[in-house]
Amino acid sequence: MTYQRILLKLSGEALMGNLGYGIDPKVVAEIAEDIAQVVAQNVQVAIVVGGGNIFRGVQASAKGMDRATADYVGMIATVMNAMTLQDALERMNVPTRVQTAIAMQEVAEPYIRRRAIRHLELGRVVIFGAGSGNPFFTTDTTAALRAAEIDAQVIFKATKVDGVYDSDPVTNPNARRYESLNYNHVLTNDLRVMDGTAIALCKENNIPIVVFNLFERGNIIRAVKGEKVGTIVGGFCDVN
């Protein structure tokens, strides 16, 4: 295996599949199956999951809701997703812990860095819920922060597209998919791989980001093995 400890970033939208809202149990089970394959290879897996399938703080704020309040509601939505994913993993006999940045002691552990690392060392998947615990920060930034804290070797950002393009491939059939990029190119050209704060954190801590299509079965294990999947940000790049 190329990596021993990874952080997987899942969007909330990924969990709803083709539904317009909420969680599709079939999709969650398929994601859990792919993660279980990685764990079976003795790779330590941490996960940050978004909450956009249930509630988006930014959108609610744009409609008049207080931004901080909206962001806190969004953080709670990520915990719902984290618990759902935990259930799917444990039904496959993959030991899993949810840690939250907002105390919810009846349903999850509080986020404690050393405890999270110990769980990983013992072969447990750790899912980080409630974002960073602070409003005005995205779950992308949380992924970069947690990856740095736990010394993850890479962030895998599993999305609905098969990498990073120079323009929208849906509207531009001639859009070019990058094989690799550096952090500065992403920031300068606003490529929306992750938000700027997340990219800056990854650059500062030299954490590569691999962006790939979550819905192509087996992509997670292929990425962990170091196969060419999607686009890699950081390290050797074809765009400087």
- Residue 235 pLDDT level (bands cut at 50, 70, 90): low
Asked if the model's pLDDT at residue 239 lies above 60, the reply is no
Answer with the residue of higher pLDDT: 59 or 129. 129
Residue in the block written with tokens 């935990």: 86
Ligand-binding site membership of 196 (annotated): no
Ligand-binding site membership of 228 (annotated): no
According to CATH, the superfamily of the domain at 5-233 is Acetylglutamate kinase-like (3.40.1160.10)
64-68, 83-87, 154-158: lowest mean pLDDT where? 64-68
Contacts of 80 by beta carbon, 8 Å cutoff, 6+ apart: 23, 51, 54
How high is the mean pLDDT of the chain?
91
Ligand-binding site membership of 115 (annotated): no
- 73-82: pLDDT as tens digits: 999 999 999 9
HSE of 212, CA atoms in CB hemisphere, 13 A: 23
Ligand-binding site membership of 156 (annotated): no
Answer with the residue of higher pLDDT: 161 or 78. 78
Q: DSSP readout, 135-165?
A: TT--HHHHHHHHHHHTT-SEEEEEESSSS-B
Ligand-binding site membership of 19 (annotated): no
Asked if the model's pLDDT at residue 11 lies above 50, the reply is yes
Rg from Cα positions in the chain: 17
Ligand-binding site membership of 51 (annotated): yes
Ligand-binding site membership of 168 (annotated): yes
What's the rounded mean pLDDT across residues 166-191?
88
- 98-115: pLDDT as tens digits: 999 999 999 999 999 999
Cα torsion for 159, 163, 166, 170, to the nearest 10°?
A: -60
So where are the chain's domains?
Answer: 5-233
Strand partners, 127: 47, 98
Task: Give the pLDDT of residue 237.
Answer: 45
How many Å apart are CA 7 and CA 150, to the nearest integer? 9
Task: Give the pLDDT of residue 59.
Answer: 76
Ligand-binding site membership of 56 (annotated): yes
- Residue 240 pLDDT level (bands cut at 50, 70, 90): very low
CB 57 within 8 A of CB 12: no
Angle at 37 between CA 31 and CA 41, to 5 degrees: 145
- Residue 63 pLDDT level (bands cut at 50, 70, 90): confident
Burial class from Cβ neighbours inside 10 Å (0-12, 13-18, 19+) for residue 81 reads buried
